């Protein structure tokens, strides 16, 4: 580095990042009272029995919206196919689609469609908050609350969006190796370091100084997909019970939870983006195509 000004700037940035990631002032500002800890939402659809009496390697929560039936169906037929993973990859996974209530004027009809879909597949969990971008943190809370209550024995917990493709053979092999050595403290994902809050009021990611007055976020993993070992998932759950869930950027909220329990994205993290995750929306007809031997949908003739 030739310029001393640049060097000073980098040192200051690194120092502030360390400060953000290692001190409790964030927790004091973002914490809520015990009475108001977490918004209490009612289950509309639930499957308490999903993991009971089973040795679960990976519990996958897929964040979805009520209208995204075709995405859910594509996942069921491809990387989220539990039977395929069991028979061909010798692993027991559980896949659940996480959603809130539709905010459309035809909400009742949409709810009936969801109930019919769940009756067929048995893989939706839904609470009665509105399914909007600004309630994404409620989905995160739902995921970790459900895992803690109904599947605390799963070795790993994953959160994923419904518009990505996961290469399950690679991911399962990676997690089986970790499970074999009894790995703990695992937080796998694409890490954002020293991200700056968006202050442009026109952006949907806008965060006011009143809500978050500091100039950097704690380190966090991209919300599109990340994996936690069960000990880390338990710590995130405990932290989530004491933080202000009105902060609606869910992946940043995960960073708050980690900061609360002194977990640091990157400490025991591998970047699996290139080997396991593909950030592309599904083809319209992907759910009609069978899987090849690698777990991908076969190419059309």
Distance between CA atoms of residues 166 and 282, nearest Å: 11
Which residues are within 8 A (CB) of 126 and not within 5 positions of it... i.e. 6 or more apart? 43, 44, 45, 46, 98, 99, 100, 101, 114
Q: Which pLDDT score is estimated for 5?
A: 42
Look up the CATH architecture of domain 35-297. Answer: Alpha-Beta Complex (3.90)
Distance between CA atoms of residues 211 and 247, nearest Å: 8
Q: Which pLDDT score is estimated for 275?
A: 54
Q: Is the dihedral of CA 281, 283, 286, 292 positive or negative?
A: negative
pLDDT tens digits, residue range 62-102? 999 999 999 999 999 999 999 999 999 999 999 999 999 99
The list of the chain residues with pLDDT below 70 reads 1-39, 104-107, 262-301
* Tokens 């069978």 -> residue: 290
Residue 82 contacts residue 49 (beta carbons within 8 Å): no
Q: Which pLDDT score is estimated for 223?
A: 87
What pTM value is reported for the model?
A: 0.80
Radius of gyration of the chain (CA): 20
Q: Which pLDDT score is estimated for 276?
A: 55
Q: Which pLDDT score is estimated for 292?
A: 45
In the chain, where the domains are located: 35-297
Q: Which pLDDT score is estimated for 233?
A: 93
Q: Which pLDDT score is estimated for 42?
A: 92
């Amino acid at each position: 580095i030739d310029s001393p000004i640049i060097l000073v700037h980098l040192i200051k940035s690194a120092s502030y990042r360390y400060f953000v990631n290692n001190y409790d002032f964030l927790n004091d500002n973002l914490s809520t009272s015990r009475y108001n800890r977490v918004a209490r939402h009612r289950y509309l659809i639930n499957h308490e029995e999903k993991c009971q009496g089973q040795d679960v390697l990976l519990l996958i929560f897929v964040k979805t919206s009520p209208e995204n039936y075709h995405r859910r169906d594509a996942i069921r037929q491809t990387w989220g196919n539990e039977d395929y993973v069991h028979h061909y990859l010798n692993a027991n996974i559980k896949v659940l689609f996480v959603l809130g209530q539709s905010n459309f004027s035809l909400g009742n009809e949409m709810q009936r469609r969801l109930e019919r879909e769940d009756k067929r597949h048995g893989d939706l969990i839904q609470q009665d908050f509105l399914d909007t971008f600004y309630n994404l943190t409620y989905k995160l809370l739902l995921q970790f609350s459900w895992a803690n209550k109904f599947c605390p024995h799963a070795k790993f917990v994953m959160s994923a969006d419904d518009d990505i493709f996961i290469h399950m053979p690679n991911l399962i092999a990676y997690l089986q190796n970790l499970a074999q050595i009894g790995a703990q403290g695992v937080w796998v994902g694409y890490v954002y370091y020293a991200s700056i809050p968006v202050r442009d009021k026109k952006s949907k990611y806008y965060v006011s100084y009143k809500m978050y007055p500091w100039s950097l976020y704690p380190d966090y993993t991209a919300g599109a997909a990340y994996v936690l070992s069960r000990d880390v998932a338990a710590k995130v759950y405990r932290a989530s019970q004491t933080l202000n869930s009105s902060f609606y950027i869910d992946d940043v909220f995960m960073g708050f939870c980690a900061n609360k329990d002194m977990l640091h994205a990157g400490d025991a993290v591998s970047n699996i983006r290139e080997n396991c995750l593909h950030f592309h929306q599904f083809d319209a007809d992907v759910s009609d195509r069978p899987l090849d031997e690698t777990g991908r949908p076969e190419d059309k003739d």
